[in-house]
């Protein structure tokens, strides 16, 4: 089958190649990016597969992927060393020989000339491609990719370096796929907090069972997302299918909803504070500055975040926040009383609209029967007064990280609800 005869691409698989991925030395971010772009182009993703630098296994993985998908995209294995085998394996699968492409050799020479160096013989290995290949140029690197029909599917070999891979995908592969894909895949993600995955699923079960649009839940660190997805001829038609389902879901779960798509809890809070011209000060104990870190990761956070204090010891709570010594003696650091005084002290000291505090037992040690690991108090102070909310995160007592992440999410949501109510 020649590339000219390929008229329809509806499904794809992604094959990442490299023993270093299997060993955990590097994390495969390429597959997630490619999947998102293919969805934009209306192509369904069937599988992600990773295989090590073994020629027999690579060929078998290629053959299996081709039996299921119209398009197989590989990343990795295009370098100049002996363990870079992707194009050689594709040639074996297609039953063709490897040949040197003069334009690929010239590209390697030009790249090395710009580096002020001369290519070694091994570098010219990257100019060898399966015979009959349509070369995928690589403006940023020396390794071109191959576009070749084999085993009833189209193969596209791309480098493992993300910047090179993305450029080659956009310049060559995306136009090729776009011409052969009929329709688009559109997804909308709804984010919820304060409700567990199973409880949420029970309230929208009929949508989870439906075929079009599909609705899928995914939970993590105190948040749940519902992804609504459909494939249609146009984006307008897809949205017309998604929107009635979205409205009905929000009518049932609106009190737990906080954002769409790529919105995070911190970006939702940042948006509200910025839109309303409100300011915030933080006092963190068990989270150790995690909330401040997540907020300051956002560009423009200086518009609303005035100050963040990590008051880990009792002495620092007294000295920096004005928490009374008597409060700590009577109630302890992990208490509603201390959380309230921390929030008040943060707000008072920074002269902000809101003061948010967290104090708790993050574990895995340090808990008692009265105050077990996972007990957290969140304090929130504004012009209308100061409140404290108790969080029971004992179900995650074995994971300090999980308790800290969930605390940050739930504390930010506590603030979000108060800000929304301040309008």
Domain stops at, among 260, 285, 320: 260
Task: Grade residue 160 by pLDDT with cuts at 50, 70 and 90.
Answer: very high
Residue 224, CA distances (Å) to 191, 220, 416 in order: 6, 6, 17
Instruction: Please check whether residues 108 and 156 belong to one and the same domain.
Output: yes
Do 271 and 243 share a structural domain? no
> In the chain, how many domains are there?
3
Of 138, 163, 178, the position where a domain reaches its end is 178
The answer on 290 and 145 residing in a single domain is no
Residues 108 and 55 in one domain: yes
Q: Given pLDDT bands bounded at 50, 70 and 90, which one contains residue 263?
A: very high
Among candidate residues 30, 29, 43, the one with its CA nearest the CA of residue 186? 43
In terms of domains, do 221 and 269 share one? no
The pLDDT of residue 169 is 97
pLDDT at 51 over 80: yes
Q: Are residues 26 and 85 in the same domain?
A: yes
Which domain CATH number covers 317? 3.90.950.20
Of 30, 52, 55, 34, which is closest to residue 44 (Cα–Cα)? 34
3-state secondary structure of 417: helix
Position 275 confidence tier, pLDDT thresholds 50, 70, 90: very high
- Asked if residue 299 and residue 217 are part of one domain, the reply reads no
- CATH number of the structural domain spanning residue 66: 3.40.980.10
Q: Model confidence over 322-350: pLDDT tens digits?
A: 999 999 999 999 999 999 999 999 999 99
Boundaries of domain holding 234:
184-260
Same domain for 201 and 168, yes or no, is: no
* 197, 171: one domain: no
Q: Domain of 217: which CATH number?
A: 3.30.70.2860
Q: What is the pLDDT of residues 6-44, one digit of tens each?
A: 778 999 999 999 999 999 999 999 999 999 999 889 999
Q: Encode burial over 225-263: b for 16+ CB neighbours within 10 A, e otherwise.
A: bbebbbbbeeeeebeebbeebbeebeeebeebbbbeeee
pLDDT at 422: 67
What are 70's two structure tokens?
């119209």
Do strands 214-220 and 223-232 pair parallel, antiparallel, or not at all (unpaired)? antiparallel
> What separation in angstroms does the CA of 195 have from each of 170, 257, 399?
40, 10, 20
Is residue 360 over pLDDT 80? Answer: yes
* Pure H helices in 116-147: none
CA separation for the pair 361, 382 (Å, rounded):
25
Same domain, residue pair 218 and 312: no
């Amino acid at each position: 089958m020649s590339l000219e005869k390929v008229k329809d691409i509806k499904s794809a698989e992604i094959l990442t190649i490299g023993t270093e991925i299997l060993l955990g030395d590097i994390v495969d971010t390429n597959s997630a990016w490619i999947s998102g772009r293919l969805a934009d182009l209306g192509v369904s993703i069937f599988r992600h597969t990773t295989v090590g630098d073994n020629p027999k296994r690579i060929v078998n993985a290629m053959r299996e992927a081709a039996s299921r998908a119209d398009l197989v995209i590989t990343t990795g294995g295009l370098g100049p060393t002996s363990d870079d085998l992707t194009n050689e394996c594709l040639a074996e699968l297609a039953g063709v020989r490897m040949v040197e492409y003069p334009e690929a050799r010239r590209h390697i020479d030009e790249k090395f000339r710009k580096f002020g160096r001369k290519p070694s013989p091994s570098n010219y290995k990257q100019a060898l491609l399966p015979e009959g290949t349509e070369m995928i140029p690589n403006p940023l690197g020396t390794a071109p990719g191959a576009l070749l029909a084999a085993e009833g599917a189209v193969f596209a070999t791309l480098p493992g370096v993300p910047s090179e891979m993305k450029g080659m995908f956009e310049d060559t592969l995306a136009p090729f796929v776009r011409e052969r894909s009929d329709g688009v895949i559109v997804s909308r993600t709804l984010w919820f907090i304060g409700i567990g995955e199973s409880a949420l699923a029970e309230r929208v079960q009929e949508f989870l069972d439906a075929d079009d649009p599909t609705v899928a839940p995914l939970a993590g660190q105190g948040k749940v997302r519902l992804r609504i997805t459909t494939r249609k001829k146009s984006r307008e038609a897809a949205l017309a299918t998604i929107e009635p389902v979205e409205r009905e879901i929000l009518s049932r779960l609106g009190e737990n909803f906080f954002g769409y798509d790529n919105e995070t809890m911190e970006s939702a809070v940042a948006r509200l504070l910025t839109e309303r011209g409100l300011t915030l000060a933080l006092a963190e104990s068990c989270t150790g500055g995690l909330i401040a870190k997540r907020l300051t990761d956002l560009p423009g956070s200086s518009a609303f975040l005035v100050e963040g204090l990590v008051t880990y010891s009792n002495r620092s709570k007294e000295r920096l926040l004005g928490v009374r010594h008597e409060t700590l003696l009577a109630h302890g650091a992990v208490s509603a009383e201390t959380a309230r005084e921390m929030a008040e002290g943060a707000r008072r000291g920074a002269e902000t609209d809101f003061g948010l505090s967290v104090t708790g037992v993050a574990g895995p040690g340090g808990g008692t029967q009265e105050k077990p690991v996972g007990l957290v108090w969140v304090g929130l102070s504004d012009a209308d007064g100061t409140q404290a909310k108790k969080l029971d995160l004992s179900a995650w007592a074995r994971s300090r990280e999980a308790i800290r992440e969930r605390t940050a999410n739930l504390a930010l949501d506590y603030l979000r609800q108060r800000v929304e109510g301040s309008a």
